Structure 1
Amino acid sequence: MSSSEFRHVVRLGGRDLNGKKKVLAALADIKGIGFSTANAVLNKLNIDADVRLGSLSENDLNRIDDYVRNLQSKVEFPYLLNRRKDPSSGSNIHLIGSDLDFVVKDDIRREKEVMSWRGIRHSLGLKVRGQRTRTTGRKGLTVGVRKGVARPAQAGQPAQSEEAKK
């Protein structure tokens, strides 16, 4: 392919990808497709992973796009799918891009409605997966103590508490 046919921006999986990147790294930039899934796709389609994405032919790009969009029906190994045993349908599916974002937000909303432990942790803005929270995860929360007004004690008398004065 000549340099005039090289595409610097390639549209795949509903996302604009950098054509200067190698195919494996560029596919991993699509949300919902990681390194292992991208490698499996390229091996199945017999496309060299070290070729630049912008130098692929239109036919190869269409094959990759079709395979990525219909991954659940074409992949041999279900562990490559990102949504196995979907709660709503019960089947193995693979989501990419904004579809994945929507489903994850919907799962969190459902957990909150059911008031499961995970839903309660989500609604309180705390860590969900059993991490420690004593010293980490304080971002966004107010941590601090308001200092009270200190008065000097009178000689010979013990200090009185606020409730004893009332």
Structure 2
Amino acid sequence: MKRKLVLLLGILLAANVSVSAQQNYKAKFINAFTRYMNWPDQSKHGFFNIGVYGSFDLYKEISEETMGRSVGNQNVVAINILKENQLDLTKLHILVVGRKYCTPENLNRITSKFSNSYTLIVTEDNGILNGAGISFQNNGTALGFKYNLDNINNKGIAASGQFKSMGQGVN
């Protein structure tokens, strides 16, 4: 019985580390997106805001990963967004939508809020784009992302060749 308990505890810890490691990798991807994409000149003033809606753990990782960084002459600021009505409060360069809000209805509503902005929308769910530019995908042991170049370009954002080689393009 004691061995079973120790084994179960070990499995739970490994799963928890895996989730934490995934959040860390996602934060590193977000950081890379800021380097391999170019936002329009109209959005290159003030802070470079990265909003995270619905995933406090990912917000913490992004905050730590981007602390002290800048994009061009803009300091990066991570913003934890708790409620959908807070999405309208500040200009966002990147919005990461947490897994629990990645339903087609929610994504359609969220993407429509940003239809006339220079905001790159990233979904945390497994390959669900629904109007977003990027979606993380977990293939068992590997974390990657899919992207829709049309959705990114429609935001006035230019993706570099290096960005395109990092992920999988879809239409």
> TM-score, with normalisation over the residues of structure 1?
0.25
Q: Which is strand-richer, 1 or 2? A: 2
